[in-house]
Amino acid sequence: MSNFFSKAEVTSSGRPVLLHNEVECHLLSAVDLEPEDHRHFSLLKSGLLILTTHRLIWLPSYSASTPTSASAIPLAAISHIFSSKKSLKSVFHSPRIRFQVLVSSDGRVFDPSSGSGSSSGSGSRSVVVTAVIRGKGDCDGFLVKFWDSWRARAWETTKTSSSGSGSASGSGAATGIGGGLYSSDGSVRMVGVAGILRKEQEMWESTDKSLQDAFQDLNALMSKAKEMVMLAEKMRQKLLSGTSSQTSGTNDEDMGSKEEMQDWLLSVGIISPVTKESAGALYHQQLSRQLADFVRIPLERAGGMINLIDAYCLFNRARGTELISPDDMLQACSLWEKFDVPVMLRKFDSGVMVIQNKSHSDEEVFARIKSLVTKPEALRTGISPTDAAMTLGIAPAMAKEHLLTAESKGLLCRDISPDGFRFYINLFPEIDPCNMYFVKDYGICSTWIKAVSTTGLGIGERSSTFR
């Protein structure tokens, strides 16, 4: 059988990778896609069907372990959608949605973005595809949105804007990813501070003009909303793709403004947020996967672990008006145990909950803490959570949790005073109970004795710390 459907890419959490300016509209679970010619075309059984403004995307059995089997049908390839007929027979079988798809001469769905085949050229024909909904989704609501998305022809607007960007890049104007200053992977094509500053100036001039046009009246603002989101996404990609070599010649004030702008633009991270209206019964599952994709960048910036409250604030800010409740957030995180995603929810003994990468290693963190706490100054005075936070590059509250965990593993000892918590290296494993006064010439205990002896205080005075 030929591979009738087009391939679709998915993220590491099993969410579809959306095209430029593509937005999700509706979802249905347990859907079969059946081309009318079963002998020549393969069938897709019991998967998740996602309707977007550009495509029908089918994901198999909601499994992220088989991303290559995800399929798609461009809405541009659909020539007709059949109206649903209510009859006595339809009461006793699963709801069905039938539509007609253009097929190229090689037996595949016509894909206008691939540049191969023609929707009306020689050798093309039509095949009727039936979507059998075996789940409990809103079939009628899906059909209505299917009609609306197909009639809106949003892919034509995207194609026009892309071709316009391409011509602009040929004339030297500042463009987004795919032309001019940026390559297809988001990296900067040009090098040199002068060239980058010139491109930034052109981009900000274009931004200023767009803002002036957008705020003339409410109707103009609504018409410019999509353009503003696209512009923010371009600026976000530019900042994320910047390298240290490009910022080495800037002063502290410029660096501060860039970091502030980066923090602001990172909040514009979700163009098509999962909602209860679009996902229905699959809301928490889809929300869980979208959250797993979203926290990837904040986790990288936070050293592999982020407080759940901080993640909740960042995620809600990125969703704009589509806010979620703390219960929705917690339920979405708890579903990660069932999915093959690279992140996990962790709860410390103190009750603090964090999100961390599965590749995040406590042993690596403990090694860095041990290196810090065995320095001569730390051997004398210990370290505070703030000291550990500066070394680990995380918040003091998170550093304190790591120090307490290291204490529970026997690596550290804790001293509580009016000044707060101080942590010291644990010397007790090197002390022989049968000969407590014997000190080896090597080891941490010997190093500690040499460190505290330089302060002029007796060892007995320092030893009281560990009693």
What was the pLDDT predicted at 336?
93
pLDDT tens for each residue of 94-106: 888 999 999 888 7
Mean pLDDT of 116-140: 73
| 3-class secondary-structure state, position 218 | helix
In this predicted structure, what is the pLDDT of residue 333?
A: 94
Residue 239 pLDDT > 70: no
From start to end of 272-429, where are the E strands?
Answer: 305-307, 343-347, 353-357, 412-417, 420-425
> Could you tell me where the beta strands, DSSP code E, fall in 293-411?
305-307, 343-347, 353-357
Higher pLDDT, 128 or 256: 128
The torsion defined by the Cα of 72, 73, 76 and 80, in degrees rounded to 10, comes to -160
pLDDT band at 274 (very low <50, low <70, confident <90, very high): confident
Q: What is the CATH number of domain 370-454?
A: 1.10.10.10
Q: What is the pLDDT of residue 241?
A: 63
Q: Is 314 or 361 the better-scoring residue by pLDDT?
A: 314
- Separation between Cα atoms, residue 72 and residue 3, nearest integer Å: 11
What gap in Å lies between CA 110 and CA 79, rounded to an integer? 11
Two tokens at 158?
């995207």
List CB contacts of 328: < 8 A, sequence separation 6 or more: 284, 287
| CA atoms of 351 and 309, how far apart (whole Å) | 13
For the chain, residues classed under CATH 1.10.10.10 are 276-357, 370-454
Position 182 scores a pLDDT of: 36
Determine how many CB atoms are found less than 10 A away from the CB of residue 450: 11
What is residue 273's three-state secondary structure? coil
Q: Model-level pTM greater than 0.75?
A: no
Q: Which residue has the higher pLDDT, 14 or 123?
A: 14
Reported as a single tens digit per residue, the pLDDT across 317-334 is 888 778 899 999 999 999
Q: What is the DSSP letter of 249?
A: T
With bands split at pLDDT 50, 70 and 90, how would you rate the model's confidence at 120? very low
Residue 177 dihedral angles phi and psi, to the nearest 5°: -65, 135
Distance CA 109, CA 117 (A): 9
Question: Among 18-32, 63-77, 138-152, 418-432, where is mean pLDDT lowest?
Answer: 63-77
What's the whole-number mean pLDDT along residues 282-299? Answer: 91
CATH architecture of 6-115+123-154: Roll (2.30)
Instruction: Give the integer Cα–Cα distance in Å for 23 and 271.
Output: 7
What does the alpha-carbon distance between residue 97 and residue 334 come to, in Å, rounded to a whole number?
34
On whether the CB atoms of residues 59 and 47 are closer than 8 A, the answer is yes
pLDDT beyond 50 at 467: no
Query: What CA–CA distance (Å, rounded) separates 467 from 463?
Result: 7
For the domain made up of 276-357, the CATH class stated in words is mainly alpha
In this prediction, residue 428 has a pLDDT band, given cuts at 50, 70 and 90, of: confident
Outline which parts of the chain fall under CATH 2.30.29.30: 6-115+123-154
Give me the pLDDT at residue 295, please. 92
Q: Which of 44-48, 115-119, 434-438 has the lowest mean pLDDT?
A: 115-119
Give 156-163's long-range contacts (Cβ < 8 A, gap of 24+). Answer: 156/76, 157/21, 158/19, 158/20, 158/21, 158/22, 158/54, 159/112, 161/21, 162/20
* 335-367: b (≥16 Cβ within 10 Å) or e: bbeebebbbebbeeeeebebbbbeebeeeebbe
Q: What is the pLDDT of residue 222?
A: 55
pLDDT level of residue 437 (50, 70, 90 thresholds): low
| pLDDT score, position 179 | 38
pLDDT reported for residue 339: 86
Distance from C-alpha of 402 to C-alpha of 304, rounded to nearest angstrom: 13
Residue with the bigger pLDDT between 238 and 15: it is 15
DSSP states along 370-387:
HHHHTSHHHHHH-B-HHH
Instruction: Please identify which residue in the block is written with the tokens 């190093």.
Output: 447
Task: Tell me the pLDDT of the chain averaged across its residues.
Answer: 75
Q: 6-15, 216-225, 226-235: which range is least confident on average?
A: 216-225
β-bridge mates for residue 306, sequence order: 355
